[in-house]
Structure 1
C-alpha cells in the first residue's frame, strides 16, 4: 500500500497505478485498487511536496533524489521477496 500511495502521482489514475504496481508486488490490481481507493477516502496520502523555501534547482534535485531513493527501496523490497521465494524453493528439506 505504501508503495502504491507513494508512487500514485506518477500515474494518471489510481487504476493505472494499481495495474502497474500490482504486477510488481504480485497483488491483483483490483484488490490493490480497492485498497488505494479506501486509503484515499480516509485521507491517507504521503507528503510529496518539498519545502517551498528551496531554490528551484535544489527543489528539482530534492525531488530527483527522493524518486531515486523510492525506486531503490522498491527494488530492495522486490529483491527481498525474490530471495525469500528462491530460498524456499532451494531448501533441501522440502524435497
Structure 2
C-alpha cells in the first residue's frame, strides 16, 4: 500500500528550514516543532520525522540517508528478481536433464 504524499518536497524542505532557523527562539527542538507544525498543516510528529531525516541526509545525525535507503531498496528488488530467475533456471535445467535421461532410456 503506497501512501500518496500529502505534502510536496518543497513544503517539507521549507518546514524543516523554518525549524532550523527558529530553533534558537524556543527552549527545545520539540517546542519549535510544536509551534511550527500547525502553520504547515501537519502534526508535530510528522514534522519531527522530516527534521530527523534532513539531519541524517546532511550528515548531522547518524543513520541511513534517503539516497542510501533508495539504493538498498533497488538492490533488494534486484536480488529478489535474480533469485526468482535462478529458481526458474534450476527447474528448467532439472526438467531438461530428466527429459534427456528418459530419451536415452527409450532408445
TM-score class, shorter-chain normalisation, is: 0.3 to 0.5
Q: Comparing both structures, which one devotes a greater share of its residues to helix?
A: 2
- Higher relative contact order (Cα pairs below 8 Å, separated by 6+ residues): 1
Structure number with larger C-alpha Rg: 2
- Please, what TM-score do these two structures have when normalized by structure 2? 0.38
